Amino acid sequence: MPVRIYHNPRCSKSRHALQLLQERGLQPEIIEYLKTPPSTDELRHILTLLGMQPRALMRRTERAYSEAGLADPSLDDAALIQAMVDHPILIERPIVLARGKAALGRPPKNVLEIV
């Protein structure tokens, strides 16, 4: 499995994580997730690898979060995952996948733990 980064080039943390990977000679597959969002199954897989619940991977300060009423504690995982698929801006970034593992690049150096 190649190294893959779910990347937003407008995000400084995402750019920094990508730079750290490249400085180590890695040329990851770059997925600009705002243009090509992960599917529901891909997002479930990523959450499993991260060991996170859906809400923990959500950017709760985004307007889409409040507009969609996602703070509602009665929403189940399926609803939250679908919201991230429908509004990928809600997905925290960057996420790196490598060697059957995943890391959230907050801070960016976290991605080095799996490569």
> Considering only CA atoms, which of 112, 108, 92 is closest in space to residue 47?
92
**CB atoms inside a 10 Å sphere around CB 13:** 17
User: Is 11 one of the annotated active-site residues of the chain?
Assistant: yes
Residue with tokens 């779910």: 6
Which of 4, 11, 52, 59 is an active site residue?
11
Largest CA distance in the chain: 45
* Catalytic residue list: 11
